[in-house]
């Protein structure tokens, strides 16, 4: 059900990371974030560490992944030494290799204090540990053709799942039933997984941005926020639609929908290569503020999407990120009125010169008749 996808360009990534080591003030980097390990090697296991030096790439993992790691690295065309062992043996191999370097970078967002202490103790005084942030994540911000194709395929799966589930609304299902139906359809359509725990929030629950689906039955005229995504070959999509069985029951709810639609359109209109994440956020926020609901837009406007559902760049008030061509980001303003209801509309888009291309294509219309 998922069309043929162009290959991922994995083998150029370790060389590109090497090009960033000097600037980061390290001789080598131990990659411990599993999405980063996957990005650099193609290895999709749940445990492992990757040491990257100017001429070295060493992956250590455990016996569960002996065959899988070899297959995935070969498929990706990645040349790296792979050492298999129990955790203490992995650590020994890693330490031995790491002593060749004077300044050894660790990913500060992906190590535990305990592991860092143990590593420092095992290395002795010759090798100094250096905290690094965002080295691989920086590479991941700009997607290649194969990555965009996978995110687009994941978005298409979510679109088709919603099209199948939409008619169920008329039967007044519970939030849980709708969420389960979305998850089931995404898997049937070829998704490897859901991108995150599906959100279905109805009526007053829609006034909470990240409500968990519960046993509440959907009623006519209330807003139902559905936030969900699929995973295709590791890559995620992220989309929110707000639906309403019949017209919104109150003028306030109708106004919330109109304002969120206008805000999202303004945000999408601002997305373009070279634009700051804070600028896109401002475009969304101005529309909401003009309607008097500035305080009801309680989260950032968007985020990057890829191997992780939340990654760089950020689109928020405090963001210093700048959008680059071939970044994939979400635009998802919302208005939440506690106890009453709320709406959010979210699309995943790829940034192009002078604008964007929308990957999540479900209709944004709210009323289901």
Residues at the contact surface with Zn ion, assessed by CB under 5 A: 227, 238, 240, 330, 346
CB of 67 to Zn ion, least distance (A): 35
Residue number, 148 or 199, with CB nearest to Zn ion: 199
Burial of residue 74, with CB atoms counted within 10 A of its CB: 0-12 exposed, 13-18 middle, 19 or more buried: exposed
Q: Which residues pair with 336 in a beta bridge?
A: 342
| Selection from 55, 57, 12 nearest residue 30 by Cα | 57
What angle (nearest 5°) sits at the alpha carbon of residue 70, between those of residues 69 and 76? 85
CB of 306 to Zn ion, least distance (A): 12
130: helix, strand or coil: strand
Residue number, 240 or 263, with CB nearest to Zn ion: 240
CB of 292 to Zn ion, least distance (A): 25
DSSP H helical segments within the chain, as ranges?
13-21, 34-41, 66-76, 87-98, 113-123, 135-140, 145-165, 175-188, 251-270, 277-290
Residue number, 308 or 346, with CB nearest to Zn ion: 346
CB of 305 to Zn ion, least distance (A): 7
Residue number, 59 or 162, with CB nearest to Zn ion: 162
Q: Give the pair of three-digit tokens for residue 213.
A: 């689906």
19-42 burial by CB neighbour count: b if 16+ within 10 A, else e?
Answer: ebbeebebbbbbbbbbbbbbbbbb
Rounded distance between C-alpha atoms, residue 17 and residue 200, angstroms = 39
CB of 240 to Zn ion, least distance (A): 5
Max CA separation in the chain (angstroms): 70
DSSP secondary structure letter of residue 217? B
Residue number, 24 or 305, with CB nearest to Zn ion: 305
CB of 116 to Zn ion, least distance (A): 31
Residue number, 13 or 303, with CB nearest to Zn ion: 303
Residue number, 65 or 228, with CB nearest to Zn ion: 228
The answer to whether the CB of 315 falls within 8 A of the CB of 290 is no
CB of 316 to Zn ion, least distance (A): 12
């Amino acid at each position: 059900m998922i069309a043929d996808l162009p290959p991922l360009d994995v083998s150029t990534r370790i060389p590109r990371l090497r090009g960033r080591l000097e600037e980061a003030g390290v001789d080598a980097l131990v990659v411990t974030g599993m999405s980063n390990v996957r990005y650099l090697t193609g290895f999709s296991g749940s445990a492992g560490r990757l040491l990257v030096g100017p001429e070295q790439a060493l992956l250590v993992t455990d016996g569960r992944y002996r065959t899988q790691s070899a297959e995935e690295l070969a498929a990706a065309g990645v040349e790296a030494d792979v050492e298999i062992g129990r955790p203490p043996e992995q650590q020994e191999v890693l330490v031995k290799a790491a002593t060749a370097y004077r300044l050894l970078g660790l990913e500060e967002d992906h190590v535990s204090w305990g592991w860092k202490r143990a590593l420092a103790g095992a290395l002795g005084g010759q090798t100094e540990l250096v905290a690094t942030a965002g080295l691989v994540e920086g590479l991941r911000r700009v997607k290649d053709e194969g990555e965009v194709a996978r995110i687009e395929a994941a978005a298409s799966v979510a679109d088709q799942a919603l099209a199948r589930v939409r008619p169920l609304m008329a039967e007044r299902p519970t939030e849980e039933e709708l969420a389960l139906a979305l998850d089931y359809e995404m898997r049937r359509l070829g998704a490897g997984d859901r991108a995150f725990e599906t959100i279905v929030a109805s009526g007053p629950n829609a006034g909470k941005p990240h409500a968990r689906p519960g046993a509440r039955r959907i009623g006519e005229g209330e807003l139902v926020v559905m936030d969900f995504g699929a995973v295709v070959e590791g890559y995620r999509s992220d989309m929110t639609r707000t639906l309403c069985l019949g017209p919104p029951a109150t003028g306030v709810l109708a106004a919330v929908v109109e304002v969120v639609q206008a805000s999202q359109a303004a945000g999408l209109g601002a997305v373009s290569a070279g634009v700051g994440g804070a600028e896109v956020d401002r475009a969304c926020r101005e529309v909401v503020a003009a309607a008097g609901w500035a305080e009801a837009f309680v989260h950032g406007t968007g985020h990057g999407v890829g191997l992780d559902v939340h990654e760089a760049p950020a689109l928020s008030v405090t963001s210093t990120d700048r959008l680059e061509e071939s970044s994939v980001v979400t635009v998802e303003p919302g208005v939440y009125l506690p106890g009453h209801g709320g709406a959010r509309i979210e699309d995943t888009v790829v940034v192009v010169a002078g604008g964007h291309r929308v990957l999540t294509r479900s209709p944004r219309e709210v009323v289901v008749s």
